[in-house]
Structure 1
Amino acid sequence: MPASLTLGLIESPLHKGVTMMKQIVFLTTAAILTLSLVGCDGGSVDKSSAPKDAAIKPTEKVLKIGLINQEKEQVSFPELSAAARATVKYINTELKGVSGTSIELEVCATGDSAESAVACATRFANESDVPFVINATYNSAAVNNVLLGKKAMFTFNASLSDSTTENLYTLDPGVLVPLQVMFDAAIEQNVKSVSVLITDDPETKQAVMPLLDIVAKRNSITIQNVVPVGGSIDMTAAVTAAQPEQTDALIMVLTNADQCIPMGQSLKALGVSKLVYSSETCAKSQIVSSGAVDNWYFQISSDGALSESSPGPDTIKFRDILKRYSEGEPDFGGTAGFAVTQIMAVKSLYDQVGPEDVTVDALNNILKAGWKSKPLTAPAVSCPGVAPFIGQCQRSMYLAQSQNGSLKLVLPEARTVDMTSFSSIVSQ
């Protein structure tokens, strides 16, 4: 989320609360493959054929990747599907696919209900030629029940169980990594107390606050106030209720991107100049470019959204891919970087297995035995993770700050979190 401060507990009833958190953080030139957009929740089918000047010749054999993406209703990531398609076109056109065999992406679009996610999962479960599925919904429990063991999988890290389950892997920093990166930065800036402004949703609070409390206490930081934030365009009352004068910093857990700019404007109108740490929801390019969230700090899982004037290691390449291979105007923010990371990681796995030997078992065996990669736009990843978080392949994030309408890295290197210090949380 695409990673933001998505927080969850092991129990599946909390997944909906987590759903409201994750906004994290991921085509008109030559294409050489068929791209299927299948709306399992009332969507449409869209197939485009390879052009005559494709980089590799169409053959009967293709290597498929399934993508289940939340594109409808309140929480949606259309930029994720768009960036994934662009990345597949880039791979096939410039990298000659996987040793000359093209990759085909099949996208199944869902709403935010478990039923629509299950419909997509069932469809892929019945497609024997789709060995790998990327789950980009927060209904991970529902999807896992259908696909686990039948497909190799990367998933959104919607709950702790998503990083502790065998044969389930995530390149999403998810639950604890962004929190610890945020509190590391807060400690370095001598923060002792914070107020939390959180989306006004009971299930979100139920999912978020327990882990936020745990990590804050582990870092000796006091949570002074917790203020629910409604949908009003005027956030003055919420800011006032947070009593920023009594704390060293503010933490924004805003799952609705429409709240970010009004919140920034209200802070400025009230003359509040405290440190602000935010989930990736508010790091979308159109929000950052408005200037409303200037000086806010973000934990980001991809350097794709960074300013071209202050890029990360892969920012320029990422933007070039999306500019040349996207359909329409590319969106560099949101989950676009996450999408590129996922697709490039799957390509790396297919490369390692070899196009003739790609199977579910072969892919899972590599992930289980020890797989390392540096996917485009992301910090280095390695699977499996550290027990008990065996599926947590991504344990690093960048710390960025919005400055004059642009997102820039605070430190050139990603911060890596020692997950062993959180092992006791799993049993709580």
Structure 2
Amino acid sequence: MITEPSSARRPRRLRKVLGIAACVTALIAVAACNGTENGGSGESGGSGTIKVGFINQTAGSVGTYPEVTAAFEATVQYINDELDGVGGKKIELDSCAVDGTPTASQRCAQQMVTNKPAFVFLGNDYNSGVLYPILDGAGLMVIGEVPLTLPDFNAPNVAFFNSGIAGSGPVIPAYLELHPSENKGFGALVSQNPAALAAAQLLEIPLEQAGYNLQQTAVSPTATDYSSALLSLNPSQLGGITGILAANGCVAFAEAYGQQNLKTPVIANQTCYATDVLKSAGENMVGWKVTELTADPMGDSEDAVLYRKIMSTYAKDTEPNAGQGPLAFSTVMTTYNNILKPMGSSDVTSQAVKDALAGSAKTGKISLGGDYTCGGTVAALPTVCGWEIFIYEIGAGPDYSLQVIPDQVDPIDVTSTVSEAFPNGLPS
């Protein structure tokens, strides 16, 4: 089985609710600075700076995420310029780009080991399993943006403030428990990339536990016509459809859906609610539900307003609702608010970050999100701190803004859904 990787009322302030739910060649050398064996200290970087590693996928055929880099850099610049950094010390990003190959991931990991940042931010990397042992051997802690592949969920040196693929699939049956369908057939178009394939495995079991039968069809991540793939699901006879797809796949899905004049309910993954997708196929997506790992970045919450301000000031070439930009902002600001800011002028080290996540920052509020608790809320998936996910409805044009679904103004907590479906961890 297979599956892949966001007018009316805006969502109000969140309330917790619903108890359902790898370099063998060149190193990139940057001037090495003082550090410690456990991943550097607050003295890493230049005088008065804190060096933080940053790895993100910006090339390759399986997916590129330039908006993640833009949002990470913009949010760090905001912290440095407007919040006086961390206790007066500016954050200096030591960046490295991966391209979807294990060699690139190993190269970036070695760069981090050589340059000794205090800790490492991870955007997207489909070969993160190559990174973790190298970074762990150097005592480097990782704060990840989104867990995409199986190693993300069990590495000893990483934490995520959201559940990524482990929650965005199970949230569908959790939602269906609140809004049940008499038709128990459910279909999925699944892109053939590592994250989507991993995510697809996480949908079938909880759907079956909720009483639904899942049919899946594989689609190429580079295809532009999904008409035949969609027809193969016999979509008009289903109670719902989802797509585990990259943005270009969402366009192909929406166009095929519109051409076939379907009315079958759709619950799409968050990559389908992106500027480019809406410009190309928005009219075919009106009424679709979309799962979101953050609250609406175009909403009127304090976090959403701050996010748009940061992007318009420091990342003017990136649309604020483009892809995973909001999630990148959420990761940086949550780390700053709950870990770095309380440390103040103290040395920021990987060990200090790890200790905070087990102590003072074990629980907290996610920027542009719900609540989190680190330390294994779902015992088999100990790296995930936050298990609340949003589902919105796509409104009518011209802006196709997200709407609150009636009777659901809060995020869905998928802790119990995931725990019951995967008591021994995710399938390999």
Instruction: Calculate the TM-score normalised by the size of structure 1.
Output: 0.80
1:407 corresponds to 2:398: no
Mean Cα deviation higher: 322-331 or 89-98: 322-331
Unaligned runs of 5+ in 1: 1-6, 8-16, 25-39, 46-57
Q: What is the CA distance between 1:66 and its match in structure 2?
A: 1.2
Q: Who is 2:119 aligned against? A: 131
1:297 corresponds to 2:289: yes
Q: Who is 2:107 aligned against? A: 119
Q: Who is 2:232 aligned against? A: 241
Q: What is the CA distance between 1:154 and its match in structure 2?
A: 1.7
Indicate if the aligned counterparts of 2:236 and 2:263 stay in contact, CA closer than 8 A: no
- Sort the Cα spacing of 1:204 and 1:321 in 2 relative to 1 into closer, same or farther, 3 A: closer
Indicate if the aligned counterparts of 1:160 and 1:175 stay in contact, CA closer than 8 A: no
- Sort the Cα spacing of 1:422 and 1:194 in 2 relative to 1 into closer, same or farther, 3 A: closer
CA distance in 2, matches of 1:122, 1:176: 28
Q: What is the CA distance between 1:269 and its match in structure 2?
A: 2.1
2:251 alignment partner, one of 241, 261, 269: 261
Q: Who is 1:50 aligned against? A: none
Q: Who is 2:352 aligned against? A: 362
Q: Who is 1:388 aligned against? A: 380
CA distance in 2, matches of 1:209, 1:179: 7
Mean Cα deviation higher: 105-114 or 297-306: 297-306
Q: What is the CA distance between 1:59 and its match in structure 2?
A: 7.6
Q: Who is 1:30 aligned against? A: none
Q: What is the CA distance between 1:162 and its match in structure 2?
A: 2.2
What secondary structure is seen at the aligned counterpart in 2 of 1:356? coil
Amino acid at match of 2:252: P
- Sort the Cα spacing of 1:176 and 1:59 in 2 relative to 1 into closer, same or farther, 3 A: closer
Render the CA deviation track for 1:122-141: whole Å, top value 9, x for unaligned.
10112224333325312111
Q: Who is 1:102 aligned against? A: 90
Aligned residues: 377
Indicate if the aligned counterparts of 2:57 and 2:99 stay in contact, CA closer than 8 A: yes
CA distance in 1, matches of 2:73, 2:296: 16
Mean Cα deviation higher: 122-131 or 367-376: 367-376
Mean Cα deviation higher: 208-217 or 355-364: 208-217
- Sort the Cα spacing of 1:211 and 1:59 in 2 relative to 1 into closer, same or farther, 3 A: closer
Indicate if the aligned counterparts of 1:41 and 1:109 stay in contact, CA closer than 8 A: no
Render the CA deviation track for 1:300-326: whole Å, top value 9, x for unaligned.
1122544x5xx4552222111110111
Amino acid at match of 1:392: V
What secondary structure is seen at the aligned counterpart in 2 of 1:357? coil
- Kindly report the root-mean-square deviation, in angstroms, between the aligned alpha carbons of the 2 structures: 2.9
1:416 corresponds to 2:413: yes
Q: What is the CA distance between 1:327 and its match in structure 2?
A: 4.6
- Sort the Cα spacing of 1:68 and 1:190 in 2 relative to 1 into closer, same or farther, 3 A: same
- Sort the Cα spacing of 1:85 and 1:262 in 2 relative to 1 into closer, same or farther, 3 A: same
2:53 alignment partner, one of 66, 74, 86: 66
What secondary structure is seen at the aligned counterpart in 2 of 1:292? helix
Q: Who is 2:22 aligned against? A: none
Render the CA deviation track for 1:95-152: whole Å, top value 9, x for unaligned.
1211222112222111011110111111011222433332531211101121125211
1:183 alignment partner, one of 158, 162, 173: 173
2:135 alignment partner, one of 138, 143, 147: 147
Q: Who is 1:351 aligned against? A: 341
What secondary structure is seen at the aligned counterpart in 1 of 2:48? coil
Indicate if the aligned counterparts of 2:217 and 2:233 stay in contact, CA closer than 8 A: yes
Q: What is the CA distance between 1:194 and its match in structure 2?
A: 0.5
Render the CA deviation track for 1:399-428: whole Å, top value 9, x for unaligned.
112112222343332111225334524286
Q: Who is 1:286 aligned against? A: 276
1:168 alignment partner, one of 155, 158, 177: 158
- Sort the Cα spacing of 1:204 and 1:327 in 2 relative to 1 into closer, same or farther, 3 A: closer
